Structure 1
Amino acid sequence: MIIDFHTHVFPPRVKQKRGQYIDRDPCFALLYSQKDAKIATTDDLIESMDKAGIDVSVIVNFGWITHELCAETNEYILESIARYPKRLIGFVTVQPQSVDAAVAEIERCTQSGAKGVGEMRPDMQLLDFDDESIISPFMEAIKKHRLILLTHASEPVGHNYPGKGIITPDVLYPFLTAHHDVTIVCAHWGGGLPFYALMPEVPKALQNVYFDTAASPFLYQPKIYSLVSQLVGADKILFGSDYPLMPQTRPLQEINSAAIDKEEKSLILSGNAKSLLKL
């Protein structure tokens, strides 16, 4: 079994009227202003999954800056998981600064089958992790419904790219420590956070934290699979492609050539996700 823990889909109208959404949301504009930036619908994803031999995909929403855009696109996520209940798992998004509306949206989406919240973009959504009036009700709602939070993460060094952002390990670490009782997935290998697991106090802070491999071929050499497995354990790694940023076949080819054993590969490709998602 193969589970892709990090894919993105948008309603057909977003694909058809890209320019309108670029005008409405600066985060969307940053990532999708270029004509070659791919936008996929649910049907596109299912076709890709069939081609790549992927059994289940987690469809994560986007870090929209307004509550209205979050709710509009969440509806498509919910419709998609209802259409393909055996193939798709839904993660929805909220703007935590909307506070009461954000909590109500989490409640609504949970009742319709959502299993997580994400992909959170704290920098683009202008979130202050120290503002308890915003963060506390948001995280309490996630905790109440035993949801998984998936957040964007980025590297503090290296090449720049659209959407890289500033959610680096030093920004994430205090947040993860403060909310150790919530299951949190840090996308894109957590911006390199696993490398700090060599520090004695860090593994304790990461007890409920996982790392997905989204966009890995654009970020790291294939040896990252074996290195991070050694540092935090293969049981902390979730296979993710970041489709449609790249074909789902590409990261699969990479992990199949990685220097990890069969048991580690099985955990990364499906075992860990099955456990988290209770499949």
Structure 2
Amino acid sequence: MAVIDAHVHLYPPEVNRDPAGWAAAHGESHWAVMCARVRKSTGKPVQGFPSVDDLLEEMDVAGVEGAVLLGWYWETHDSCVRQNRFYEECVRAHPDRFSAFATVHAGAGVAALDEVRRARDNGLIGLGELSPHSQGVSVDDPCWLAVLTLAGDLELPVNLHVTDPLIGKYPGRVETPLVDFYQLAAQFPQVKFILAHWGGRLWREGGLLPENVWVDTAATPLLYDASIWAEGLGACRAERILWGTDYPLELYPKEPGKQTFPGLLDEAQARMPVDVLGANAARLLSLG
């Protein structure tokens, strides 16, 4: 069975060359806080900025056959468009290794809807990682609802960023009320939602997950202790969990040099049914 990382981020070469400078020049201050800063405790970057070849090499070392490339909840429409074009290039160059989701800013209105259609027509298979809360868009904003309606019409799964309300403060943290995700799932039963980061333990808000909701395991070591694996498995059912890392985020800040993929894969293999490591994503996203 192929191992698939369902939550990976990559950035275009111009972003990698000077992340902070690029963010300042393009009005992406929130992304800069989240991704281009250094940790006060160590002075080291919170994440790396690998190339496509770097990612493929790390996947090969760890035995990860496929990666789902997720966008970011950018503050500008232009940044969304650039990310999507880059991902289209990645998928065309490596269709056997990568699939990708498109990103949009609902504040762009009709342009956002046009971008969804264009990205779909150019091989992208979902939307996300999106966060209307971080983009200053209300979850009942008509443009946001139109994006989700279109996602349903085009059968595009939607990955949403979720912040656990019980997780402490960190730079760039934005509240994402859990009730909003239950509301969206009920309002759009035709949309398959993937809630990132264990869905912020959504189950504590309303019990069992709605039938159109999955969760991924992105950033687990930064957010939770090892008990989250059993808790999440009991609350979500194995078929609703997708293994994801949040690569290239530094997931082990207290253990410099620890490899992301091998460490996370070993832990997931020890604690999760095998389908979580790839088969669930393959079924949900029609991969392979």
- The alignment yields a C-alpha RMSD, in angstroms, of 1.6
Q: How far apart in 2 are the matches of 1:136 and 1:120? A: 13
Displacement of 1:235: 0.5
State yes or no: 1:145 paired with 2:154.
yes
> Could you tell me which amino acid in structure 2 is paired with residue 81 of structure 1?
V
1:83-113 deviations in whole A, cap 9, x for unaligned? 1101001111011111110111111110111
1:248 is aligned, of 243, 261, 264, to: 261
Of residues 53, 59, 78 in structure 1, which corresponds to 2:63? 53
Letter in 1 for 2:15: V
Measure the CA separation in 1 of the matches of 2:227 and 2:76.
39
Q: Does 1:136 align with 2:156?
A: no
> 1:71, CA displacement in angstroms?
0.3
Which runs of structure 2 are paired with 1:157-176 in the superposition (5 Å)?
157-176=166-185
**How far is 1:253 from its partner?**
2.1
What is the number of equivalent residue pairs in this alignment? 268
Q: Deviations over 1:162-196 (max 9, x none)?
A: 34321141332222221222000000000110334
Contact (CA 8 Å) 1:71, 1:105: kept in 2 or not? yes
User: 1:115 corresponds to which residue?
Assistant: 125
Q: Which amino acid aligns with 1:6?
A: H
SS at match of 1:244: coil
Q: Aligned to 1:227, which of 218, 225, 231?
A: 231
- 2:276 aligned partner, one-letter code: I
1:76 correspondence with 2:75: no
Letter in 2 for 1:79: E
TM-score by length of 2: 0.88
Paired with 1:230 and 1:16, the residues of 2 have a C-alpha distance of 43
Q: Percent identity?
A: 30
Q: Which stretch shows the higher mean deviation, 268-277 or 157-166?
A: 157-166
Change (3 A) 1:27 1:5: same
Equivalent-residue separation in structure 2 for 1:266 and 1:256 (angstroms): 7
Equivalences for residues 1-279 of structure 1 within 5 A: 1-23=2-24, 24-35=27-38, 36-37=45-46, 38-131=48-141, 133-196=142-205, 198=207, 202-203=208-209, 206-245=210-249, 246=251, 247-258=260-271, 260=272, 265-279=273-287
Q: Normalising to structure 1: TM-score of the pair?
A: 0.91
Match of 2:41 in 1: none
SS of the residue corresponding to residue 248 of structure 1 reads helix
**Is the partner of 2:201 in helix, strand or coil?**
helix
- Could you tell me which runs of 5 or more consecutive residues in structure 2 were left unpaired when the two chains were aligned: 39-44, 252-259
Aligned equivalents of 2:264, 2:107: Cα separation in 1:
35
How far apart, CA to CA, are the structure 2 residues paired with 1:188 and 1:28?
Answer: 17
Q: Which amino acid aligns with 1:124?
A: S
Matches of 1:195 and 1:271 in 2, distance apart?
A: 26
CA deviations 1:215-269 (Å, max 9, x no partner) are 01111222322222222210000000000114122221221232x4xxxx22210
Cα distance 1:162–1:50, how it changes in 2: closer, same or farther (>3 A)? Answer: farther
Q: Are the counterparts in 1 of residues 77 and 105 from structure 2 also a CA contact under 8 Å?
A: yes
Is residue 157–residue 192 contact of structure 2 (8 Å, CA) maintained in 1?
yes
Q: Does the aligned pair in 2 maintain the 1:6–1:241 contact within 8 Å?
A: yes
Asked if the contact 1:197/1:231 (under 8 Å) is kept, the reply is: no
